[in-house]
Structures are given as structure tokens and as C-alpha cells.
A and B are shown apart, each in its own frame.
Chain A
Amino acid sequence: GDSVTQMEGPVTLSEEAFLTINCTYTATGYPSLFWYVQYPGEGLQLLLKATKADDKGSNKGFEATYRKETTSFHLEKGSVQVSDSAVYFCALSPPNTDKLIFGTGTRLQVFP
């Protein structure tokens, strides 16, 4: 079945460092891909999404490109801030469904 695999955390970085969180997926057809963020004690918020191959989603300095050939959707940010500390979830939505399939999440900790 469809699935999402994320790198295990925690990812620990100093402020202004470059961030990459890896995400790969297994799916039939062309799913839509998402990154959600969860701050401590809260629900999830959509960070960015891409709906077709080679699309780049971007928001708040974060970017991810839908790579069909490598079945990947890696999250990147050029310069992280302490306020980016959170758990990041990669997810996919199979074609013709409204459901989401989530990865296990990656905790990011940014220190001053």
C-alpha cells in the first residue's frame, strides 16, 4: 500500500544553519504531497504542498520539490530560526481520495 518514509529525528541545528529533512514515498499513480508542521501541544498546520511532478511548494522560507523519478519530497530551508523548532510531517494524498497518509514525523530542534 501507499506509504511515506521520513528521516528519523531529532534533527539538531544551530540558528542560521541549512535544513534538510528527507521524505520518500511509495504510491500508485501521482499522489499529491504535503508538509505539515506541529508546534508543541498543538494541532498540525499545512506548511506547503505540491500536486504534480516537478512542482515546488514554498512557504515561510521552506521549500520542497516533487521528484517523481526519485519518489521524494525533501524539505529544505536556507537559514533556520529558533522559532522553527517543531515536528515536521510529510504526507501524501493518493489520487481521487481525500485521505492523507502521514510519515512518522521528524523533530527539529534549533538552538541559538
Chain B
Amino acid sequence: DGGITQSPKYLFRKEGQNVTLSCEQNLNHDAMYWYRQDPGQGLRLIYYSQIVNDFQKGDIAEGYSVSREKKESFPLTVTSAQKNPTAFYLCASSMTGGAYEQYFGPGTRLTVT
């Protein structure tokens, strides 16, 4: 079945540690996105990529980094510089060049203590 997978579903880290969240898609989509979801704030865009080896900052990129070495994969690293990393992180993908639907993964809930 085609879709987006995110792993793990729950992740716990100590403050000061970097952590990488995985996102893989087999939909052959060019574009991939990372969002952060906090209660009462909707989804906020962290980074997005429209093509391999290229990505752009979203609205809240500080303290995060990404890479796009393969079309299928778009991992997100939450660095120790991110002030409030505890959140629900959602990855999505879509075709490019129009108002295409974004397909979402199941999300990773990150808790940093």
C-alpha cells in the first residue's frame, strides 16, 4: 500500500540531546513537509522540500534541521537549540505544481524532559 510512515510513534529524550524523526513515503511525491502541532495552535510549517537536495525554511525553522538525499525520505532533526521541543510532529507529502492534496503520516509525539 502507498503511504507515509513515521517512526517512532512515541519518542522520549533528555534535554540537550539531538533527536532525529524519520519520514518515508512511497507515493512518488516530489514535495515533502514537516509540521509541528501544539494544542490550540493548529499546524505550523517547519521545513519543506520540493525536490531532492533542496529544502526551504517554513515559519518556525529555528532549532530544527532537515536533509533530502532521497526522494522517499525527509528526516527531521530536533536540535538542543529548540527551546520547546515537546510536541506532535507530522510529516506530509504531495505532488507539486498545483493545489494538490497533502498526504499525512501518523505522526511522532516527542517528549523532552
Contact = CB atoms under 8 A, between A and B. Distances in A.
Contacts of B105: 43
A69 interface: no
Interface residues of B, number: 28
Given A32-B99, A93-B99, A104-B41, A98 B104 contact: no
Interface string B84-113: 000000101010111111111111000000
Interface stretch (A14-22, A45-53, A77-85): A45-53
Contacts of B98: 98
Interface of A: 32, 34, 36, 41-46, 49, 51, 89, 93, 98-100, 102-105
24 contacts: A32-B99, A34-B101, A41-B107, A42-B107, A43-B4, A44-B90, A44-B92, A46-B102, A46-B103, A89-B42, A89-B43, A98-B31, A98-B50, A98-B96, A98-B97, A98-B100, A99-B33, A99-B58, A100-B43, A102-B43, A102-B44, A103-B42, A104-B40, A104-B42
Contacts of A41: 106-107
A101 B96 CA distance: 16
Given A98-B31, A98-B50, A99-B48, A46 B101 contact: yes
Interface in B49-106: 50, 58, 90, 92, 94, 96-106
Contacts of B44: 102
A41 B106 CA distance: 8
A55 B98 CA distance: 17
Given A43-B107, A104-B40, A104-B42, A98 B94 contact: yes
